[in-house]
Amino acid sequence: MRTLIKGGTIVTAEQEFVGDILVEGEIIRAMGAHLDEKADRVIDAQGKYVFPGGVDQHTHFSALCNVGDRDTAGYETTDSAIVGGTTTIVDFAPQDPDRGLLDSIDYRINVRAKDKACVDFALHAMVTYIMDSIFDEIEDFPRRGISSIKIFMAYNGSPLHVDDGTFFRILEKSRQVGATVFVHAENGEILNFLRSECVKKGQLTPHYHYVSRPPFTEAEAVRRAIYLAGQTDTPLYIAHMTCREAIAELQKAKGTGQRVSGETCTHYLTTTKEVLDNPDFNEAAKFVCSPALRDQEDCEALWQALAGGLLTAVSSDHCGIDVAELKQAGRDDFTQIPNGSPGAGDRLHMVWTEGVCTGKLSRQKFVDVIATQPAKINGIYPRKGTLAAGSDADIVIFDPSYEGVIRLADNPNGVDYNLYEGRRQSGRVETVLLRGQVVVENAKFVGRYGQGQFIPANMYASGYENRN
């Protein structure tokens, strides 16, 4: 099957030009200004932008969010992501209570995602139960196509929390095999104290979620994580950065040449903490996530850090948690609200609308932060994250003339709300190809459930370029 995409404005992280793309089978075969090639299908892209499929490196599909017999965050809901222009996710594979890291990864691939995934996916290992065997399992990452491992500095007292000693051992072992360490950086001990103080005072509404997670708790953990990673010379990636204080720590470390980078997420760029003041519990609870939302000055600092290359990617941190049932657990106590919000389907549209259309990001930087850098960081570039001969034909045709509003009804995400409901949307993903197959047409999913494939990652990804 040969497909020719004609006359679109092709945008990558490196260049922008009007031209054509020839797809043969699953691969891009050629790109150029005027390709004179025969094809089984011709797609007219005149007046449209042509981007590489988005890569969302921070998602939590199937993250313990069951309502009855329905998995509200399951891989079958990745149709929302692909309609929103994301063709590859890098999902977290939490270590199950009765499984090691690698068994949990296998379960993710062969059970959770099988016959359900609509997008291609790579996986992060994720430590949730500390045991000596995990250090032996890290040694097997290269053979299993796993190039990263996630740890939590927060959530003290739960299986998620990783103490500093274990963190240090994971850093050392990861460097030996060429893996990158992802870290959720918040000081969990102080968070627990601040949360308990709020409860003692009867301060129980969602407003106190951000009161109990002040910026310094993130900045301190970022500083500590950077210091520990520096002692082992291990590339460190800081997840969902939110505030000026944490960015300052990142900038300081990068200025010394340390191999550390960071991401932010769509909601931290576009939404401020005031939404948690809404007297309607259901509306406020939608925005309970960790770290907490910040103020407008922090939003602006994040945009500037993206534009300047200090932050390298925008992720969704997608975690589908129903309001009507699951978030009700915290109606009388904010500490019981499950943390997390959906967003994989809205990432490209929100970053384009709030970033490109306002002049905060160029089109090439947009492609860089939503596709190219996430692919590089996770060892799946250039197969993913770019438009080039030999790369997978993951292609987004984007209509910049569209004007509308975001509505859950237009792109259901498996959850009972859209975080950005009613927000302005400029531009729209119109057509999407996944490995050469048209899977979105006229902004509707026309692919099949189970079309997504596991993408093994290469070790020694972008943080290791200058390794000894």
Q: What is the mean pLDDT of residues 174-183?
A: 98
Beta bridge partners of 51: 396
Q: Can you give the pLDDT at residue 16?
A: 98
Q: What band does 404 get if pLDDT is binned at 50, 70 and 90?
A: very high
258 pLDDT above the threshold of 70: yes
67 pLDDT above the threshold of 50: no
Q: How far apart are CA 225 and CA 180, in angstroms?
A: 13
467 pLDDT above the threshold of 70: no
Q: What band does 13 get if pLDDT is binned at 50, 70 and 90?
A: very high
Q: What is the mean pLDDT of residues 367-376?
A: 98
450 pLDDT above the threshold of 90: yes
Looking at the chain, the whole-number percentage of residues with pLDDT higher than 90 is: 91
**Selected residue with higher pLDDT from 29 and 128:** 29
Window from 69-78, 100-109, 335-344 with minimum mean pLDDT: 69-78
Q: Can you give the pLDDT at residue 325?
A: 84
Q: What is the mean pLDDT of the chain?
A: 95
Q: What band does 185 get if pLDDT is binned at 50, 70 and 90?
A: very high
Sign of the dihedral defined by the CA atoms of residues 331, 297, 369, 359, in that order: positive
80 pLDDT above the threshold of 80: yes
Reported pTM: 0.97
Q: Can you give the pLDDT at residue 468?
A: 43
**pLDDT tens for each residue of 321-336:** 999 988 999 999 999 9
Q: What is the mean pLDDT of residues 230-235?
A: 96
Q: Can you give the pLDDT at residue 63?
A: 65
Q: Can you give the pLDDT at residue 69?
A: 44
**pLDDT tens for each residue of 272-321:** 999 999 999 999 999 999 999 999 999 999 999 999 999 999 999 999 89
Q: Can you give the pLDDT at residue 466?
A: 58
Q: Can you give the pLDDT at residue 401?
A: 98
Q: Can you give the pLDDT at residue 303?
A: 98
Asked if the peptide bond before residue 338 counts as cis, ω within 30 degrees of 0, the response is: no
Q: Can you give the pLDDT at residue 96?
A: 83
Q: What is the 3-state secondary structure (H, E, C) of the chain?
A: CEEEEEEEEEECCCCEEEEEEEEECCEEEEEECCCCCCCCEEEECCCCEEEECEEEEEECCCCCCEECCEECCCHHHHHHHHHCCEEEEEEEEECCCCCCHHHHHHHHHHHHCCCCCCCEEEEEEECCCCCCHHHHHHCCHHHHCCCEEEEECCCCCCCCECCHHHHHHHHHHHHHHCCEEEEECCCHHHHHHHHHHHHHCCCCCCHHHHHCCCHHHHHHHHHHHHHHHHHHCCCEEECCCCCHHHHHHHHHHHHCCCCEEEEEEHHHHHCCHHHHHCCCHHHHHCCCCCCCCCCHHHHHHHHHHHHCCCCCEEECCECCCCCCCCHHHHCCCHHHCCCCECCCCCHHHHHHHHHHCCCCCCHHHHHHHHHHHHHHHCCCCCCCCCCCCCCECCEEEEEEEEEEECCHHHCCCCCCCCCCCCCEEEEEEEEEEECCEEEEECCEECCCCCCCCECCCCCCCHHHCCCC
Identity at 25, one-letter amino acid code? G
Q: Can you give the pLDDT at residue 131?
A: 87
Q: What is the mean pLDDT of residues 212-231?
A: 98
Looking at the chain, the whole-number percentage of residues with pLDDT higher than 70 is: 97
Q: Can you give the pLDDT at residue 42?
A: 97
97 pLDDT above the threshold of 90: no
Sort strands 260-265 and 236-238 into parallel, antiparallel or unpaired. parallel
**pLDDT tens for each residue of 413-447:** 989 999 999 999 999 999 999 999 999 999 999 99
64 pLDDT above the threshold of 60: no
- Quickly name the fold that domain 52-385 has: TIM Barrel (3.20.20)
Q: Can you give the pLDDT at residue 132?
A: 87
CB 119 within 8 A of CB 81: yes
Q: Can you give the pLDDT at residue 270?
A: 98
Q: What is the mean pLDDT of residues 7-14?
A: 98
Q: What is the mean pLDDT of residues 132-145?
A: 95
CB 384 within 8 A of CB 86: no
Q: Can you give the pLDDT at residue 72?
A: 53
Q: What band does 44 get if pLDDT is binned at 50, 70 and 90?
A: very high
Q: Can you give the pLDDT at residue 68?
A: 43
48 pLDDT above the threshold of 90: yes
Q: Can you give the pLDDT at residue 337?
A: 96
